[in-house]
Amino acid sequence: MNEYGTIKIKLDELIKKAGISKNKLSHRAEMQRTQINNYCKNQITRLDTDVLARLCTVLDCKIEDLIEFVPPEDKSDEA
């Protein structure tokens, strides 16, 4: 984790909760399956707002259900 924290993408959790397959999601959201896999594995370096909007629409969720800010660990305790 870096000094500014990280963004966690919770797509894998939402897919399981919605009971939808990645193939069906890729079709409905008009995304490639590899792109969905990268979002599921948190291997995205730049978030695309259009993609996030499509995912939220298809999964009927809010943006805060899909992404989460994980604050940095407090380094002052280690000193």
Domains observed in the chain:
6-71 (1.10.260.40)
pLDDT at 78 exceeding the cut of 60: no
Beta-bridge partner residues of 9:
67
Positive or negative, the CA dihedral 71, 49, 58, 33 is negative
User: How many Cβ atoms from other residues are within 10 Å of residue 18's Cβ?
Assistant: 14
Considering the entire predicted model, what is its pTM?
0.83
* Alpha carbon distance 56, 15 (integer Å): 11
Q: What does the pLDDT look like over 25-59, one tens digit per residue?
A: 999 999 999 999 999 999 998 999 999 999 999 99
Residues 6 or more apart whose CB falls under 8 angstroms from that of 20 comprise 28, 58, 59
* Alpha carbon distance 13, 65 (integer Å): 9
Residue 79's pLDDT band, with cuts at 50, 70 and 90, is very low
